[in-house]
Amino acid sequence: MFYAERPFLFKAMVMVASYRNRPFQHQMGTKLTEEVGKRLLVDGERSLDLLQGLLIHIAWYHVHLGEVSQMTNLLQLAIALLADLGLNKPSHGTDRRKLMFGSSKLTQGAVAESRPLRNDETRALLGCFFVSSMFVLPFHVHITCPNSNRVSAIFRRIPALGYTNYMERQLQSLLDSREYECDVLLAEMTHVQQFAERVFEAMRYDEAEDPTIPHAPIALHLKALRKEFQCQSMTSPNELQNDKLLNVQKCAVEVFIHENGINDSFWNPPSTTNERIDVMWNLLQSIKCFFESFLDLSPETVFQIPYSGWGQSTYVILIFSRLSQLECPGWDPQMVRDTYDFSGMIEALIQFLEKCMNYAALHWLSGQQDPVITRALSKVKFIQTWWQNTRPGLSPSQMQPFSPSLSFSKGSVLGDDFWDELMRNCEPLEF
């Protein structure tokens, strides 16, 4: 019955659940990409089934990422499909569409009269906000790549779908219906990501060279944001207080709040030195909290992590590497290493991924290696070698060679395509 009503959604769900069979998962993901392109662009089909399946397809995109990333295209298709279905905003008496078309039928897919969304439509609406905000808006990183004048950015290539009062009303209606317990988790994830979007709007620095500095002292803004977010976290439902993936998301937002501690453009006046040190110290504590939460995940959970979870870990690694090398008045990199060492964190992450690989090899791979985790582990080892080679006073003879099996286009951990390249060229295992 479910397959008959939601065939594309069903196939997307099967693809995600097939992490124990990577060849099938990778092949199915490729077929779903081809199918959604044909049905949307060639056949002009518009349906909730397509939207729901597309959102799942995007959320676990890393498990079927090929040579060329289609993430931006898929996100744009999802946002466009949401609009075509008329789910992104209500229809009302002064709606421009209504005034133009009168009593005639509106364009295909648009709703003619205002109506409450069904619960499955509300979940699709919130899902669109979440994936577009997570993969497009935050998290961004203002780090200049070595041997390059470019500034890298994580998942920030097209405008994100903004959170609206209409979305909040639909979310509250969904919670009031008490249809599924997991809707409470959806609401919490949505509100956490909404706060990350608010942080971005409050600290507008699209270009590292020309940030929009608030009129009030930057430290005051950050303190207010941090306190508000902590209060919001404390009001989370009791049943979600120990949700590990949700805690990882919250820790990533804490890092995001304090990220501009490493951005020199915000801290030009000498009087801000002490305030900046406080921000960087809170940033370090947030980074530590993130990796403690991430490394506390069970091996089975690691194989189920969506694209956003891996993207957040990439983001925090980049921030931590910059913080560990930062030189500014009053800041002591040695103190950072004594408090929470970057190389120690990388080693712990390597051991964690090896543990996950061994778990998969024991339970369902018959001693073989999982290609997705293998690729992630290779990149983390690449980071480890890169970090060892950045030590002060290191002679050329002491530098560690990079693995010839890794071919990252920019040759640096800080490249724009850091995460995309992490999962590219994952050859399916032959069983």
3-class SS string, 380-407: HHHHHHHHHCCCCCCCHHHCCCCCCCCC
Q: Is residue 9 part of a domain?
A: yes
**Cis, bond preceding 342 (omega within 30 deg of 0):** no
| pLDDT at residue number 154 | 40
77: left (phi over 0), alpha (psi -120 to 50) or beta: alpha
Q: Is the dihedral of CA 170, 14, 57, 189 positive or negative?
A: positive
User: Residue 169: is it exposed, middle or buried by C-beta count within 10 angstroms (0-12/13-18/19+)?
Assistant: middle
The answer to whether position 287 is within a domain reads: no
Give me the residue label for tokens 């609406």. 125
pLDDT above 50: residue 163: yes
| 50: in domain | yes
* Each residue's pLDDT tens digit, 83-133: 999 998 886 555 555 555 555 444 454 444 567 899 999 999 999 999 988
Kindly report, residue by residue over 215-268, the tens digit of the pLDDT.
567 888 888 999 999 999 988 898 898 899 999 999 999 999 999 888 887 777
Number of domains in the chain: 1
Residue 144 φ then ψ, to 5°: -80, 130
> What is the length of the chain?
431
Domain extent, residue 20, equals 1-84
Residue 282 domain flag: no
Q: Which residue has the tokens 């009303």?
A: 169
Distance CA 353, CA 140 (A): 25
Q: In the predicted model, is pLDDT for residue 410 greater than 80?
A: no
pLDDT digits (tens, 9 = 90+) for 298-312: 999 999 999 888 889
Residue 333 domain-assigned (yes or no): no
Q: Calculate the average pLDDT of the chain.
A: 81
pLDDT confidence tier of residue 135, bands split at 50, 70 and 90: confident
Residue 130's pLDDT is 93
Structure tokens at 345: 């964190």
Report the SS3 class of residue 7.
helix
Any domain includes 15: yes
Asked whether residue 76 is assigned to any structural domain, the reply reads yes
Q: Is 151 helix (H, G, I), strand (E, B) or coil?
A: strand
Residue 219: φ, ψ to 5°: -60, -35
Encode burial over 227-254: b for 16+ CB neighbours within 10 A, e otherwise: eebeebbeebeeeeeebebbbbbbbbbb
Tell me whether residue 46 is in a domain.
yes
